[in-house]
Amino acid sequence: MKYRWATVVVTLLLLSGFGVHNASKGVPLDIEDHGTYCMIRIPDAEYLYNDGYPMLPYYTRTYTFPAGTSINDITVTPQEVEHITLSRKIAPAPPAVPLNMQPVSVEVKEGPVYHQNEFYPQEWYTLRTGMGISNGERVVFVTVHLYPVRYNAVRNEVLYAHDFAVRVDHDPPARPLFTNDAYDLLIITPEKWTGNLEPLRQHKDSRGLRSLVMTTEDIYRSYSGRDEPEKIKYAIKDAIETQGIEYVLLVGDVDNVPARYTYAYDGSEDSFPSDLYYADVYFDDGSFCSWDSNNNDRFGEYKYQGETDDVDLYPDVAIGRIACSSDTEVTTVVNKIINYEVTTYGANWFNTIVACGGDTFTPAYDDDSGVYEGEYLNQLVLDTMTGFNGVKLWGSLDNLNTNNIKTYINEGAGFVDFSGHGSRTSWATHPPLGGKYEWIGTFTTSTASSLSNGNMLPVVILDACSCGKFDSGTCLAWALVKKNGGGAIASLAASALGYGIPGNPSAGVLGWMEYRFFTYYKQGKEIIGDTWTASLNGYLNSFGYNLGTGGYKTVEEWTLFGDPTLKMGGYGSEEPVVYLDKPVDGYLYINDRPIMKTWFGTTRIIGDITIEASAYNVERVEFYLDGQLKSTDTEAPYQWTFDERARGSHTIKVVGYGETQAEDEITANIFHL
């Protein structure tokens, strides 16, 4: 039977908070002077920032459906279209500019569209679909970008649509595409570090995050693929489908867990490492996303030698890397994670955020906006982080220097926000109206190694070029995380050249990612991997209509250094946790022995079986069969031997009791005479 989703009518007033059924007369359109040009303003709109194209307002509507949904048709109809003649041209957008430490000039100019007798955008809307993980569920995203204003520069005329009607027809999946949920976190590591990681696995289990460890050696032996990175990606795909994992932790530098190099060409770098390759597993129809649709062994191409690969880009797992190169580094980071999650909650130092910025693009870059971009972004972050004590280390306050940055980090902070320029080993920025070679606030890998903040470990955001370039030695983002006796608990940074927008830094690329990370955190996403995925999903939904090189690089290079399951701010209490370890879902057991996986994933038990459970923070564990209490165990190992007569389908449940209670259950077909 074919089902159809009810027609959804979206109006611009709806985007401002009115209900679906409200009648709409449109929203006001304001025309403002912008130097010798003009700008069109509409409430709550975002703006197109394509180099040399008119800056026009647009709205985004994103719909989500269960993974496996087939999208049949999407129709968008503009309502109440009006013609308006302007007295000035609409201002062109500035280019996105690299945030490296190389001199560059910003030239804002009219592109070819200003000399074409046609309307831009060419259509009233564009669409993007993809599959990714959102709020713990894998979903199909359908994003509609609505363009209420279309501009013809030759006629100096706009078409203005007051409203839109949107219809999405779809077929829901016949059955859920992903049903297994045995594990939460997949840890991929060389075999030599499995012992070092065992305390982390146990700690995560105790917090309700079941962790599965796979070694690179086993992956290379067990999975097919053209090379080692592709084998790892297929292993992640298998762990999603058979174990239900939502998070992946890569343990090792590129010599221990290889990087996939992607070719989003910007004229400066042929390729760069991207861990998003491992996280982006599926297209919107559930098929495997190889990142090499043209099969030329160059991955994630965007306009590289005339080639562009078909990529989805939405992450299907949250992924982080601890780029360790030694046993000592693994042990250091594991101890930092465990101690942070156990001790940070309620600590006064966590409620401080240090914001470092200056004038990212000065008049020396031909930027005459008067905006101090780094400070502007810092202020957006501070305004978002209500309840936190904000420390401003700014060029305009004449207090942005290396010693002050070290001092405030050493005193303790929950977050540090760097907004400026960078390289693999350093961050810095310009003083207001300073020269291209006038740098302040320089913070390097050597500075990171000299920190002495002990267990007061911040999450660090580095909005700058290449501070996360992890494939050619220790980068600044990793130097902070691997530091013993201080540094950071996690960091986010670009693994290649990053970009900023002079005069309006939050409008896209890295400035958008910097600001939105904190927005999603304050919306309740306290697991850092969830914040990372929300940021990428949000970027793709907002700008997926036309990512361009800067957009492709932004999402592919934005790298999390640290544990993706990290609870920012730590855990407030030790809640009880209980798992059924045996029987394992989807296996056949005969007389207490696992024999094989079953067809269709059902669990079957023939004869006796010892029911086994793992439990943390509990006083006792109770075992139930079909709701009837059968046994109670007060110490590990928690076990109950089932030896009763039974036939057919039965539910086995374990309940752990501590300050509260937790439970786990499984349904099995049992045959026991």
Mean pLDDT of 22-51: 80
pLDDT band, very low/low/confident/very high, at 100 (cuts 50, 70, 90): confident
Residues 163 and 197 in one domain: no
CATH number at residue 205: 3.40.50.10390
Residues 113 and 256 in one domain: no
Domain-embedded: residue 290: yes
Quick: pLDDT tens for 183-212. Answer: 999 999 999 999 999 999 999 999 999 999
Residues 295 and 331 in one domain: no
pLDDT band, very low/low/confident/very high, at 601 (cuts 50, 70, 90): confident
- The pLDDT value recorded for residue 103 is 64
Q: Which residue has the tokens 């500019």?
A: 97
Residues 209 and 66 in one domain: no
What is the percent of the chain with per-residue pLDDT over 90, rounded to a whole number?
Answer: 83
Residues 101 and 164 in one domain: yes
Displacement of CA 665 from its chain's centroid (Å)? 31
Range of the domain at 596: 577-672
- Beta sheet of 125-134, edge-to-edge order: 46-47, 57-66, 137-146, 125-134
- The pLDDT value recorded for residue 600 is 75
Domain-embedded: residue 104: yes
Quick: pLDDT tens for 222-238. Answer: 999 999 999 999 999 99
Residues 475 and 552 in one domain: yes
Domain-embedded: residue 590: yes
Weakest-pLDDT range from 100-114, 252-266, 288-302:
100-114
- Give the pair of three-digit tokens for residue 106: 């910003």
Mean pLDDT of 311-333: 98
Q: Which whole-number Å values give the CA distances from 467 to 303, 315, 379, 478, 533, in the listed order?
A: 25, 22, 22, 9, 20
Quick: pLDDT tens for 355-379. Answer: 999 999 998 888 888 999 999 999 9
Sign, CA torsion 277/283/284/285 = negative
CATH number at residue 63: 2.60.40.3800
Quick: pLDDT tens for 420-468. Answer: 999 999 999 999 988 888 999 999 999 999 999 999 999 999 999 999 9
Residues 25 and 152 in one domain: yes
Domain count, the chain: 4
- The pLDDT value recorded for residue 26 is 56
Predicted confidence (pLDDT) at residue 353 exceeds the cutoff of 60: yes
Does pTM surpass 0.75? yes
Residues 252 and 364 in one domain: no
Residues 613 and 547 in one domain: no
Residues 6+ apart with CB under 8 A from 383: none
Quick: pLDDT tens for 515-574. Answer: 999 999 999 999 999 999 999 999 999 998 778 888 999 999 999 999 999 999 999 988
- The pLDDT value recorded for residue 140 is 97
Domain-embedded: residue 571: no
- The pLDDT value recorded for residue 269 is 87
Q: How far apart are the first and last CA of the chain?
A: 42
- The pLDDT value recorded for residue 7 is 38
pLDDT band, very low/low/confident/very high, at 161 (cuts 50, 70, 90): very high
